[in-house]
């Protein structure tokens, strides 16, 4: 079996199972370009290793590519198209697993204060109002960037305070309720001069009224972060990302529940559903233990250990 049809069929099977599979698809297409359309059983460990080591891959990227290729070759090995997988069994040693950056409220204020300086150039495709609204929207809803940028005005019901997210990561739609503050912010944003406000137009749009590309938003945020002087001071390979606003939303929400003495165990499934996760295990990786969250959890445990009323 040739590599090209093997890749196509594997991707199609994954998508038929309900997976978006965008990132693994890009890795497999890249591997196909690297090897050429050769027979599966002619692919060597040396070719796979050269692909994994290419383009100055950091350990995290190396492991991601290896995981994709391992699953791909295991799939065809299990179906008798290969005798064994050519994927190397060992991976580079890493000093730590990836930990998302949780923005403090001070960080968030610094980011918002820096927006005018970040977007002052006429060449910026996003207006200052658009970028500021997008940042607050992502933090307030915990939405994925791609979900937010795909929103059309027909998906936004400000009367009911609901947003319909279509074509999610697992091709399932969901409703996201809006709080009064973010609802008011969107109402204000929709009255910005020069906007195109037909029902099929994007909610977040460029100065010319077109959808905003994810790469544009990511590049703008990297510039904003540098202007605001927000950076990691640990050994992480990555600086704070735009996607970390989603992690921040989850951690801040959980911290607030602890502070309010709410039944966190009962509310966690609601948080998972709100974030669009299929199960609680997907939500757990978002709940990084920050000092503030740890303090609130410790207070809860102390009340329980001392015989307080809170035993939930």
Q: Which residues contact 234 (CB under 8 A, 6 or more apart)?
A: 99
Quick check: 124 and 220 in contact, CB under 8 A?
A: yes
The helix (run of H) or strand (run of E) holding residue 177 is: strand 174-177
| Active-site entry in 14, 66, 246, 252 | 246
pLDDT at 298 over 80: no
In CATH, the number for domain 3-78 is: 1.10.150
Please check the confidence at residue 69 and state whether its pLDDT lies above 50.
yes
Is 13 considered catalytic here? no
Instruction: Kindly calculate the radius of gyration of the chain based on its CA atoms and give it in whole angstroms.
Output: 23
Q: Which CATH number fits domain 105-228: 3.40.50.970, 3.30.160.270, 1.10.1370.40, 1.10.443.10?
A: 1.10.443.10
Tens digit of each residue's pLDDT (9 = 90 or more) over 98-134 = 688 999 999 999 999 999 999 987 778 999 999 999 9
Average pLDDT over residues 57-83: 83
Q: How confident is the model at residue 312 (pLDDT cuts 50, 70, 90)?
A: very low
Residue 243 bears catalytic tag: yes
CA torsion 59-60-61-63 (nearest 10°) is 80
If pLDDT is split at 50, 70 and 90, which confidence band does 291 have?
A: low
Quick check: is 152 catalytic?
no
Asked if residue 283 has pLDDT above 80, the reply is no
What pTM did the predictor assign?
Answer: 0.66
DSSP labels, 224-261: HHHHHT----SS-SS---TTHHHHHHHHHHHHHHHHTT
Is 286 tagged catalytic? yes
Active site residue 246: yes
| Residue 303 bears catalytic tag | no
Q: State whether residue 205 is helix, strand or coil.
A: strand
Confidence bin at 310 (pLDDT 50/70/90):
very low
**Of 110, 179, 116, 167, nearest to 142 (Cα)?**
179
pLDDT of 309 strictly over 60: no
pLDDT tens column, 5-61: 999 999 999 888 777 788 899 999 999 999 999 999 899 999 999 998 875 555 557
Out of 65, 183, 277, 300, pick the active-site residue.
277
Q: Whole-angstrom Cα distance, residue 15 to residue 20?
A: 6
What residues does each domain of the chain span?
Answer: 3-78, 105-228, 245-305
Residue of 14, 27, 169, 252 with catalytic role? 169
Residues whose CB is less than 8 angstroms from the CB of residue 209 and which lie 6 or more positions away in sequence, other chains included: 194, 195, 196, 201
SS3 per residue for 144-165: CHHHHHCCEHHHEECCCCEEEE
Chain centroid offset of residue 111 CA: 19
pLDDT for 237:
66
């Amino acid at each position: 079996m040739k590599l090209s049809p093997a890749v196509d069929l594997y991707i199609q099977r994954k998508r038929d199972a309900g997976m978006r599979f965008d990132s693994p698809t890009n890795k497999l297409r890249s591997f196909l370009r690297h090897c050429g359309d050769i027979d599966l059983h002619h692919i060597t460990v040396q070719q796979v290793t050269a692909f994994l080591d290419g383009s100055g891959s950091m350990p995290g990227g190396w492991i991601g590519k290896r995981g994709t290729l391992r699953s791909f070759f295991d799939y065809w090995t299990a179906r008798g198209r290969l005798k064994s997988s050519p994927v190397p069994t060992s991976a580079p040693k890493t000093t730590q697993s990836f930990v998302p950056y949780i923005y403090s409220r001070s960080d968030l204020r610094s980011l918002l204060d820096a927006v005018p300086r970040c977007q002052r150039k006429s060449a910026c495709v996003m207006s200052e109002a658009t970028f500021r609204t997008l940042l607050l929207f992502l933090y307030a809803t915990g939405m994925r960037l791609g979900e937010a940028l795909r929103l059309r005005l027909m998906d936004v019901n400000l009367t009911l305070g609901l947003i319909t997210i279509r074509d999610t990561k697992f091709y399932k739609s969901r409703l996201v309720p809006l709080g009064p503050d973010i609802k008011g912010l969107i109402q204000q944003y929709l009255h910005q001069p020069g906007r195109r406000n037909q029902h099929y137009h994007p909610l977040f749009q460029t100065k010319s009224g077109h959808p905003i590309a994810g790469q544009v938003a990511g590049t703008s945020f990297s510039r904003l972060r540098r202007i605001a002087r927000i950076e990691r001071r640990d050994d992480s390979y990555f600086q704070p990302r735009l996607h970390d606003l989603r992690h921040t939303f989850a951690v801040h929400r959980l911290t607030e529940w602890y502070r309010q003495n709410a039944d966190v165990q009962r509310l966690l499934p609601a948080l998972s559903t709100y974030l669009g996760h299929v199960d609680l295990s997907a939500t757990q990786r978002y709940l990084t233990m920050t000092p503030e969250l740890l303090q609130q959890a410790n207070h809860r445990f102390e009340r329980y250990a001392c015989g307080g009323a809170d035993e939930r």
